[in-house]
């Protein structure tokens, strides 16, 4: 499968996205339902203007996962 990495804090009010839901390639904030693309960090859906998330390149080598920050 594909791996992705992004900031964990929602750009709307700081909720932890790891406590939200994953729907395909979207992560959905549990507080106000903002949706972000898991691969790019781009805001997909929200009724107010907020910014995209920072996203990071991920690579797998043997049993190691590397996140380029």
- Looking at the domain covering 5-68, what would its CATH class be? mainly beta
Nearest-CA neighbor of 41 among 59, 58, 25?
Answer: 25
Q: Look up the pTM and report it.
A: 0.85
Q: Using one digit for the tens of pLDDT, what is the confidence trace for 20-37? A: 999 999 999 999 999 999
What residue segments make up the domains of the chain, in order of their start? 5-68
Q: Band of the pLDDT at 19, cuts 50, 70, 90?
A: very high
Q: Contact 4/38 with Cβ under 8 angstroms?
A: yes
């Amino acid at each position: 499968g594909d791996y992705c990495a992004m900031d964990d804090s929602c750009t709307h009010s700081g909720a932890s996205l790891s406590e939200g839901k994953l729907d395909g390639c979207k992560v959905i904030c549990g507080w106000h339902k903002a949706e972000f693309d898991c691969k790019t960090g781009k805001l997909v859906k929200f009724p107010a203007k907020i910014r995209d998330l920072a996203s990071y390149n991920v690579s797998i080598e043997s049993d190691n996962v590397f996140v380029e920050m």
